[in-house]
Each structure stands twice: as structure tokens, then as C-alpha cells.
């Protein structure tokens, strides 16, 4: 896999590269002077070596076919294969703009996104297959993020289930539905680590933790791609946005990213590496820069890391117009240069910007872009079309009968309900307000999110129906026999509703004539997702004020929170007896909420992200550093320690936290040995007992702390987890085996590996040094 600096420089010399020939080349040179393993080491019982994905197997027949095809392609046709354009999605259905249709006919476009349904994709495909000189089929991409038609909980919600088989199943169903509507390729999974709840796209990922996110990345890739890309119920997956997008400064979307190389390697790269190991077929570049180079122009990221280090064989697409944006970044002086830089960096396909389409030929003629680079990318894309079986039958994914038989299948809807239940996190349950008794009496469902269909499916539910299909919380409650429920919105989640008391009187009247209040509050669905950053994490509008008045009635209150980010619900955490986080739970969400409220399903979700007390604590995540002045060093209230004057350091809810309707008791962990050395392993066990009265599931989590390192190490790191189900009174001994490689990190000299020393280990139901009694072991040289 290794190439010499010389070989790389030859490529550099062949074209005039402007900014490429400076920082990046130095970086490339440094890389080779100091080769490091950027690989991610797993820490579970099973540590499989990444196998070559099925689709990457050598195929001489395919090579001959593509050689032959490429020999006949003009430069314009080749550049067409590097071009991805959107169709126009309109409320009445998708239609293609005139201009794009002409582009397809002229062979100037190789792939289309935002086009689906068997009919529509067949019509477009015909334009390419019958209307162009070479008849190369189009590839259809789409944002199938947390479901296609049947919508599952938002990705962050799914992550809260910590239920890897359930997450894989959701992706499998999404792929089956999407592929039945002619889609070949999903722009998912989004594997960006996100630690800033101000950033709206935190809702799209798997949360703050490297280990959990890596497990989920693998599961989603497996779910989408299955084990046969040519099957008509699988789609190509995309690991996005490569890389560092979640580190946008101040949580503002598209903002500058400034992270160290070490943080890149230890925090942001691993989930992408996990996706490569799982055989992901495509990568999408990020909008942001890394160390001054926009990701779409970074040869370091797209070639040195992704290709040369990780051996990625699929193709790389940019994010939406992100080549063009290199001009606004101040990295390219014009679009021509941006295109040249992107191609050289390793971009294969230009999403929506038409920069390659409009400039690349001239760049080649002027000697500023190389034909070899174009051929390289064309080949990668044609290979993927070939492996999907499109050259054999370009229409094989667009099948009206399959579409009708597949969308919203009852078993898919049932799965969506099940995953939704698994994703919900019980944050508080004082006095066992929950579960509600079947004879709960008169229920007042109050709040703007009680009966709004559009909100149930959250953002990035692109083909999701927001108007008719989603089951609201009101409908979910009404569907239960014997439930007496009335609903009023009472408050508003619109930002400008703050200060207004409109609706309060009606809500309080309802509250006063009811036996229990369910407050359905949170954020409107489009307050998270892309371009939806906030500077406050409070409940928007006048919801908080109404919530306080509802509690003041003295009736029991259950807050069902719907949102795509951690909110600072500090007041509620002290004053509202029961809080259930439901995220945006999907098409079947209302039924799933009712299942949990009434105890048909015992909540088992745990937070995949830390909940701060207020926005001022951000950034806050469980695996922070100890600092030289940790708060525990001082007496309570001591001044010169790392703390705030007005807020505790402790978050509102820790990463990994989640309650159940039963109680789980954890034994202290036991170790198979006092230590281990190279080639060895150590097994940690703990016995978990269901000490309560109902069956339930818990997420058993293994955390480590490397006490001293050649660079400072986090106070805790998740290294394994298992979700177990126990009957009342039942105990189970859970075991985790660790090897030295599982303790690897980027050391002071930038090599990746472990270091001898002492480690602290916890097996606990959440993060936090006091969540269970730790034990210590030694790693010897």
C-alpha cells in the first residue's frame, strides 16, 4: 500500500497545483518520515481483522469491460461520470429540471440524487441508457438517513438504544425500501463525532463517543449494503462527512474546525475507519477545513489517510457544492483551481457544483489536471455501477411491483415501533410515577408536540411522509383501550413565543380537571439537522413557563421530551417527577411512546451524549482530561481549581445514563489476572442482578482509564458494552476481554500503540468515576 514520497511528488509535479504543493506535501513527507498506524483497534470480545469487502474482490471480467468502455469514452463523457446533480424535488413529486435532462442526454451527468420511485427512475434511466452515445446507466443517490418511507427514530435516538442488532435492522429495512424505489446509493451513515449540542447536526450522528459510534458505523454499513451489493434490496452506503465536521466552532454549522492532529486521529477518524473495515462503498467529504485545508481539497485526508493507509477501494463524493466553496474558504482563487485541487486531492465525484463539468477539460488541456487522475476516478465509479449490476440491467432496481409490495410493509412498521421504544431514555422517575397504570384516570396531554405529525419523524426524513402516516403521541395514547386523554397545545415552541401566555389558561383548565399531566415538549423538528444551530439549549418558546405552571398545579407531571439534541432541562430535572426522552421517534413514534409510558416496554435507552446543565458548560463530554487542577483536589468551594463560580462541573445527565422500571445491581468487577503483557489478554467480569420486580434490559458498560501516558489521557474511555435482558431476580455474569491493542492511542511520537502502565477499569451502568467501584490492572512491556 505504501508509496514513496518520490512517487507522490511525481504526481505533484505533473500538474501545477497552487496551494497543494505547500502544506500538504510537507505533511505527506512527514507521514512517511514517521509512518504511523492510523488504524482503529476494537475493544470487544471479537476483534476481527477487516476482510476485503465482497464488492472489492478482483474481477477480471469487470476490468476488461471497463477498459473497453473507457477506451471509447471522450474526455467529456469521462467528466460526466464524475458529475452528480440533483433533480428537483417538488411537493407534487420529483421532476427533473430541463437543463439537467439535456445534461443527462448529452452524457454530461453520471449520477443523479433526489430522484426516486420506480417510475421516475426508470424514465431518467432511459434518458441515459437509450439517449446517450455509450448508454452508461445513471447511479441514483438519496439521503436515506433513518428510514426511507418507514421512518425510524433519528440517528441519535437510535444510538441511544445501544442496540447494535436493532440499528442494523433499521438500516437493512431502509435499504430494502429505498432500493425498491430505484435508489442505488444512500448518503448515510453520518459518522461524525459530535460533542456540541448547539450544532444541529448532532441529531444525525451516533453521539459523542468514539467506541459506540464505531460500532454503530459498522452496523449501519452492514445493514445498508448487506453482503451482496448486486442484490436488489441493498444500497451503497456513504461514510460522511470526512472529516471533523462535528467540531464546528461554537456549534455553528459549516463553521471553521481547528483540532489537533492527535484529536483527529483519536476522536474523529476512528468511526470512519470502522466504516472502511465494514466495507463501506463510498465516502463523502466534509464542508469544513482541517488544519487550513478544506476537506474536499485535502490530499492528506482523501489520499494519504483514506487510500494509502486504510486501503479504501470505493469512490469519494464531495458534499453539496463543497468544491465551489473552496473559493469562499479562500483556498482556491477560482472554480478551475478548486476543481484541480479537489481532483488531485482524491475527490472522484462532484456533488451539485458542476465544477468538474464546467472546468476540468480546460484544466487538462492546460496541463493543470491529469488525465490519469480523471481515469482513476471514472474507473472507481464505473466499477461501482458494474458491481451493482447496472450494466447488466440498468432498470433492475426500479420495479413497480416490488415497490408496491415493499413500502410500509407491516413488519417494517412494527420494527420501527420496536426500535423507537428501544431508543427512549428514562431520565427521571421520582416516586415511580411511571409506568402509568392502565387505569391512569384522565390524562391531560399538554404541549406543542403532543399531536403534530410533522415532528414525529424529525429532520432528514427526506422521503418521509410528514402529513398522514406518523402516529402522534395523542394518537398513540388514544389507540390504547380505556385511555381517557384530552390534548391542548397550551404553549408554543416558536422562538418568538417567549414571554407569551397564550394558551396557558386553556392548558391549566385541562390540567386541573385531569388526574395526570403528560407534557409533550421540546423542539420543532427543524430546529435540529442541517443549518439548525442554536446558542441556547433551553426549551424554545414559552414551554418552560407553562411547564412550571403545570407542576404548580400539584398534579403528577410526566415530561415527554422530543428533540434532536441535549437540552438544558435543569429545572425539569429537579421539579418534574418523570422525564422520558423520546427524540423524534419516527412513523410509529406515538405508539412507541404509549408502550413505554404504560410499561408494555420497559425503557432501556442510555444517553449517547452528555446533557449539560446549561450551554455555558459546552464543550462537555465524559472522556475529558483531568487537567492539572481537577476540582476534587480542592476543598469544596476552593478557588484555584478547574471549575465555574456559578455551575457545578458535573453535567446534568452523564453519557451512558438511563433508568429502567426495574433496578439493576452491579457487583464490583473481577479480573482474570493482575495484568497482561504483549500478546496477552485480560478478562473483566461483573455480575448484574435484576433486583426489581419487572423484566428489563440494561446496557453494561466497560470504561478504562490509562493513569499515566506519554501524553495525557482521558479520565475515562468506553471500551466495551453489552445490552442484556434480565428477568426479575435473575443474575448474569457479563465478561469483556481486553488485549493490549485495545488500549492503543496516538502516543507522544504520533505512533499508534499502547504503553505499559497502570489502568483503572469500571463496569457500570453509565460513565462517571463513581458509577461503580473500579479495579486496577497493569500492562507490562
| Interaction site with ligand BGC (CB under 6 A) | 143, 187, 240, 319-320, 530
At closest approach, how far in Å is the CB of 59 from ligand BGC?
A: 29
At closest approach, how far in Å is the CB of 351 from ligand BGC?
A: 7
DSSP annotation string for 757-777:
EEEEEEEESSSSTTSS--EEE
At closest approach, how far in Å is the CB of 223 from ligand BGC?
A: 18
At closest approach, how far in Å is the CB of 240 from ligand BGC?
A: 6
Closer Cβ to ligand BGC, 515 or 530, answer by number: 530
The C-alpha atoms of residue 301 and residue 280 are separated, in whole angstroms, by: 17
Question: Residues 350, 387, 235, 247: is their CA dihedral positive or negative?
Answer: negative
Closer Cβ to ligand BGC, 143 or 304, answer by number: 143
The C-alpha atoms of residue 489 and residue 758 are separated, in whole angstroms, by: 55
Backbone dihedral region for residue 372 (phi beyond 0: left; psi -120 to 50: alpha; all else: beta): alpha
The C-alpha atoms of residue 43 and residue 721 are separated, in whole angstroms, by: 10
Is 319 one of the catalytic residues? yes
DSSP bridge pairs for 325: none
At residue 282, the 3 state secondary structure works out as strand
Closer Cβ to ligand BGC, 187 or 583, answer by number: 187
At residue 177, the 3 state secondary structure works out as helix
Any residues with CB less than 8 A from the CB of 241 and at least 6 apart, and which? 190, 192, 284, 285, 286, 287, 288, 295, 319
DSSP state of 259: -
At residue 445, the 3 state secondary structure works out as strand
At closest approach, how far in Å is the CB of 107 from ligand BGC?
A: 23
Say which of 196, 277, 304, 319 is annotated catalytic. Answer: 319
At closest approach, how far in Å is the CB of 141 from ligand BGC?
A: 8
Cα–Cα distance list, 287 to 112, 313, 670, 775 (Å):
20, 22, 46, 43
**Could you count the other beta carbons within 10 Å of the beta carbon of residue 481?**
6
Is 403 in contact with 586 (CB distance < 8 Å)? no
Closer Cβ to ligand BGC, 116 or 187, answer by number: 187
Smallest CA-to-CA distance from 287 within 330, 340, 323, 334 is with: 323
Smallest CA-to-CA distance from 426 within 651, 591, 654, 660 is with: 660
Any residues with CB less than 8 A from the CB of 637 and at least 6 apart, and which? none
H or E stretch including 351?
strand 350-351
At closest approach, how far in Å is the CB of 328 from ligand BGC?
A: 15
Closer Cβ to ligand BGC, 320 or 571, answer by number: 320
Taking 3-state DSSP, the helix, strand and coil percentages for the chain, each rounded to the nearest 5, stand at: 35, 20, 45
Closer Cβ to ligand BGC, 189 or 447, answer by number: 189
Q: Are strands 282-285 and 238-242 parallel, antiparallel or unpaired?
A: parallel
Closer Cβ to ligand BGC, 317 or 771, answer by number: 317
Buried b (16+ CB within 10 A) or exposed e, 615-631: bebbebbbbeebeeeeb
Closer Cβ to ligand BGC, 239 or 520, answer by number: 239
Closer Cβ to ligand BGC, 89 or 670, answer by number: 89
H or E stretch including 381?
helix 371-387
Is 98 in contact with 127 (CB distance < 8 Å)? no
At closest approach, how far in Å is the CB of 76 from ligand BGC?
A: 25
With CB atoms as reference, the residue minimizing the distance to ligand BGC is 187
At closest approach, how far in Å is the CB of 457 from ligand BGC?
A: 17
At residue 204, the 3 state secondary structure works out as helix
At closest approach, how far in Å is the CB of 318 from ligand BGC?
A: 10
Closer Cβ to ligand BGC, 86 or 336, answer by number: 86
Closer Cβ to ligand BGC, 465 or 530, answer by number: 530
At closest approach, how far in Å is the CB of 319 from ligand BGC?
A: 5
DSSP bridge pairs for 324: none
Backbone dihedral region for residue 208 (phi beyond 0: left; psi -120 to 50: alpha; all else: beta): alpha
The residues assigned a catalytic role are 319
Amino acid at each position: 500500500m505504501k508509496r514513496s514520497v518520490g512517487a507522490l511528488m511525481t504526481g505533484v509535479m505533473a500538474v501545477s497545483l497552487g496551494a497543494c504543493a505547500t502544506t500538504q506535501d510537507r505533511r505527506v513527507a512527514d507521514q512517511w518520515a514517521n509512518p504511523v498506524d492510523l488504524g482503529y483497534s476494537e475493544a470487544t470480545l471479537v476483534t476481527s481483522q477487516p476482510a476485503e469487502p465482497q464488492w472489492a474482490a478482483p474481477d477480471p471480467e469487470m476490468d476488461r469491460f471497463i477498459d473497453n468502455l473507457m477506451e471509447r469514452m471522450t474526455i467529456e463523457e469521462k467528466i460526466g461520470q464524475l458529475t452528480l446533480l440533483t433533480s428537483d424535488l417538488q411537493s407534487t413529486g420529483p421532476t427533473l429540471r430541463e437543463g439537467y435532462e439535456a445534461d443527462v442526454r448529452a452524457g454530461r451527468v453520471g449520477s443523479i440524487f433526489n430522484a426516486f420511485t420506480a417510475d421516475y427512475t426508470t424514465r431518467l434511466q432511459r434518458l441515459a441508457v437509450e439517449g446517450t452515445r455509450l448508454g452508461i446507466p445513471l447511479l441514483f443517490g438519496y439521503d436515506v438517513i433513518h428510514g426511507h418511507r418507514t421512518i425510524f427514530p433519528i440517528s441519535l435516538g437510535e444510538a441511544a438504544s445501544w442496540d447494535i442488532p436493532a440499528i442494523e435492522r433499521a438500516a437493512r429495512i431502509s435499504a430494502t425500501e429505498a432500493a425498491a424505489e430505484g435508489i442505488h446509493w444512500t448518503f448515510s451513515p453520518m459518522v461524525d463525532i459530535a460533542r456540541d449540542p448547539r450544532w444541529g447536526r448532532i441529531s444525525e450522528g451516533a453521539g459523542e463517543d468514539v467506541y459506540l459510534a464505531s460500532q454503530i458505523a459498522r452496523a449501519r454499513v452492514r445493514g445498508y449494503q448487506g453482503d451482496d451489493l448486486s442484490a436488489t434490496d441493498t444500497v451503497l452506503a456513504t461514510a460522511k462527512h470526512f472529516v471533523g465536521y462535528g467540531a464546528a466552532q461554537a456549534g455553528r454549522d459549516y463553521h471553521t474546525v481547528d483540532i489537533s492532529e492527535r484529536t483527529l486521529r483519536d476522536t474523529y477518524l476512528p468511526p470512519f475507519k470502522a466504516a472502511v473495515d465494514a466495507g463501506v462503498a463510498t465516502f463523502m467529504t466534509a464542508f469544513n477545513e482541517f488544519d487550513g485545508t478544506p476537506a474536499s481539497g485535502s490530499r492528506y485526508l482523501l489520499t494519504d489517510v483514506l487510500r494509502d493507509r486504510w486501503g479504501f477501494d470505493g469512490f469519494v463524493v464531495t458534499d453539496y457544492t463543497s468544491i465551489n466553496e473552496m473559493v469562499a474558504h479562500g483556498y482556491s482563487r477560482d472554480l478551475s483551481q478548486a476543481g484541480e485541487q479537489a481532483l488531485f486531492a482524491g475527490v472522484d465525484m462532484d456533488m451539485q457544483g458542476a465544477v468538474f463539468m464546467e472546468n476540468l477539460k480546460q484544466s487538462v488541456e492546460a496541463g493543470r489536471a491529469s488525465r490519469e487522475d480523471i481515469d482513476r476516478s471514472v474507473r472507481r465509479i464505473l466499477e461501482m455501477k458494474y458491481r451493482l449490476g447496472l450494466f447488466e440491467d440498468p432498470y433492475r432496481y426500479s420495479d413497480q411491483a416490488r415497490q408496491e409490495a415493499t413500502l410500509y410493509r407491516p413488519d417494517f412498521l412494527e420494527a420501527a415501533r420496536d426500535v423507537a421504544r428501544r431508543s427512549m431514555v428514562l431520565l427521571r422517575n421520582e416516586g415511580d410515577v411511571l409506568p402509568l397504570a392502565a387505569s391512569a384516570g384522565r390524562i391531560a396531554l399538554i404541549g406543542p408536540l403532543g399531536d403534530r405529525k410533522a415532528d414525529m419523524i424529525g429532520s432528514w426524513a427526506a422521503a418521509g411522509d410528514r402529513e398522514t402516516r406518523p402516529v402522534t403521541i395523542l394518537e398513540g395514547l388514544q389507540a390504547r383501550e380505556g385511555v381517557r386523554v384530552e390534548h391542548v397545545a397550551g404553549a408554543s415552541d416558536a422562538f418568538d413565543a417567549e414571554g407569551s401566555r397564550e394558551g396557558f389558561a386553556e392548558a391549566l383548565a385541562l390540567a386541573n380537571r385531569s388526574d395526570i399531566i403528560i407534557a409533550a415538549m421540546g423542539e420543532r423538528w427543524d430546529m435540529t439537522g442541517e443549518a439548525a444551530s442554536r446558542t441556547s439549549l433551553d426549551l424554545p418558546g414559552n414551554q418552560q413557563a407553562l411547564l412550571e405552571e403545570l407542576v404548580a398545579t400539584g398534579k403528577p407531571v410526566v415530561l415527554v421530551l422530543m428533540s434532536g439534541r441535549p437540552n438544558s432541562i435543569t429545572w425539569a430535572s429537579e421539579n418534574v417527577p418523570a422525564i422520558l426522552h423520546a427524540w423524534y421517534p419516527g412513523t410509529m413514534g406515538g405508539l412507541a411512546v404509549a408502550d413505554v409510558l404504560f410499561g408494555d416496554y420497559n425503557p432501556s435507552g442510555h444517553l449517547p451524549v452528555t446533557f449539560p446543565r446549561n450551554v455555558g458548560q459546552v464543550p462537555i463530554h465524559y472522556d475529558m482530561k483531568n487537567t492539572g487542577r481537577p476540582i476534587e483536589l480542592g476543598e469544596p468551594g476552593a478557588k484555584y481549581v478547574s471549575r465555574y463560580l456559578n455551575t457545578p462541573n458535573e453535567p446534568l445527565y452523564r453519557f451512558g445514563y438511563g433508568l429502567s422500571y426495574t433496578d439493576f445491581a452491579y457487583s464490583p468487577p473481577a479480573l482474570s489476572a493482575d495484568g497482561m503483557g504483549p500478546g496477552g489478554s485480560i478478562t473483566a467480569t461483573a455480575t448484574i442482578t435484576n433486583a426489581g420486580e419487572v423484566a428489563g434490559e440494561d446496557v453494561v458498560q466497560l470504561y478504562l482509564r490509562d493513569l499515566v501516558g506519554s501524553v495525557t489521557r482521558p479520565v475515562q474511555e468506553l471500551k466495551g458494552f453489552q445490552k442484556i435482558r434480565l428477568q426479575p431476580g435473575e443474575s448474569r455474569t457479563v465478561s469483556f476481554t481486553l488485549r493490549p491493542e485495545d488500549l492503543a492511542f496516538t502516543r507522544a511520537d504520533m505512533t499508534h500503540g499502547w504503553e505499559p502502565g497502570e489502568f483503572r477499569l469500571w463496569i457500570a451502568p453509565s460513565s462517571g468515576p463513581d458509577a461503580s467501584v473500579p479495579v486496577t490492572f497493569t500492562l507490562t512491556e
